[in-house]
């Protein structure tokens, strides 16, 4: 193993100890290391980082900016060990990663997504996507949290979901509204009828009895948004799975405003419910709340 690859592993280990998952960063830094090895480079310079980040030339500015950002974060850490390491400036490329504008779903749009899910060609597929979308809209779970749920993580008697090892390595219990408990019970009964011998303990299952995978769920959801007639509101405001989470949070804030509750007192509770690293993360949802 090269010294650079060893340093990358150390960097990822340190960052993961702080709760970061870093799947994409690991892949990008591995590609960057391979690039340096292929050209015989032994250290990181701004010129080399820029040359790699802008490959391929047809890639979007946003993607190139993301690649440079991954190298920059690693280089800043490596410089504390190897002072000869150059850290590429964050504004070197115009396509620096920017936070997407949230697509706030109306109740009618969520209903349209569920109707589109019911039209999927296979009975178990249609069932799983209908209730998966419903759960995301009703609880604000991250999509990864929802598809990682096991059957034992759904406590019908206590009306709780158990979310284990999510972002930042945090686990939590998510209280459920009685209507959600009833809906999940319907899904579980019909799922077991359609798939009596699944190959996974996962709560949501695919047509072949395996756990739903994000690599399949994401394109399927995009298809459902098209079939439901949902179009982007701007190049940076598109209907996404994560926007269901943002929509849930914004609805909670709107309800608080309408009932004259103390919204700022609510934010720490909302942050805990959503599994944020701290209350400050929940303040971003105020930017998506109509005034």
Which residues are annotated as catalytic? Answer: 142, 167, 242, 245, 276, 285
Q: Please state, in angstroms and rounded to a whole number, the distance separating the CA atoms of residues 156 and 137.
A: 19
- Say if CB 54 and CB 48 are below 8 A apart: no
- Say if CB 117 and CB 129 are below 8 A apart: yes
Polymer length in residues for the chain: 291
Q: Please state, in angstroms and rounded to a whole number, the distance separating the CA atoms of residues 122 and 142.
A: 25
Q: How many of the other CB atoms lie within 10 Å of CB of 143? A: 19
3-state secondary structure of 189: helix
3-state secondary structure of 158: coil
Tokens 């032994």, located at residue: 42
């Amino acid at each position: 193993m090269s010294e650079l690859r060893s340093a990358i592993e150390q960097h990822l280990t340190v960052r993961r100890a702080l709760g970061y998952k870093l799947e994409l960063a690991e892949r990008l830094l591995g590609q960057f290391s391979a690039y340096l090895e292929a050209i015989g480079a032994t250290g990181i310079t701004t010129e080399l980082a820029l040359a790699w980040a802008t490959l391929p030339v047809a890639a979007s500015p946003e993607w190139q900016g993301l690649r440079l950002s991954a190298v920059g974060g690693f280089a800043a850490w490596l410089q504390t060990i190897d002072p000869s390491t150059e850290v590429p400036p964050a504004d070197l490329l115009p396509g620096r990663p920017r936070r997407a504008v949230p697509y706030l779903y109306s109740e009618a749009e969520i209903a349209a997504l569920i109707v589109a899910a019911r039209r999927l060609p296979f009975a178990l597929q249609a069932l799983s996507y209908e209730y998966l979308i419903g759960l995301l809209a009703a609880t604000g779970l991250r999509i990864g949290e929802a598809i990682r749920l096991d059957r034992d993580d759904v406590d019908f008697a206590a009306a709780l979901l158990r979310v284990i090892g999510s972002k930042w390595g945090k686990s939590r219990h998510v209280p459920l509204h009685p209507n959600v408990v009833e809906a999940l019970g319907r899904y579980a009964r019909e799922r077991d009828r359609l798939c009596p011998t699944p190959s996974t303990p996962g709560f949501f299952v695919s047509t072949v009895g395996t756990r739903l995978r994000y690599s399949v769920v994401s394109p399927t959801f995009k298809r459902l948004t098209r079939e439901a007639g949902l179009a982007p509101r701007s190049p940076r405001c598109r209907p996404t799975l994560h926007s269901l989470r943002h929509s849930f949070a914004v609805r909670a804030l709107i309800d608080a405003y309408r009932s004259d509750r103390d919204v700022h007192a609510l934010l720490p509770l909302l942050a805990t419910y959503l599994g944020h690293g701290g209350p400050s993360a929940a303040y971003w949802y105020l930017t998506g709340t109509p005034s």
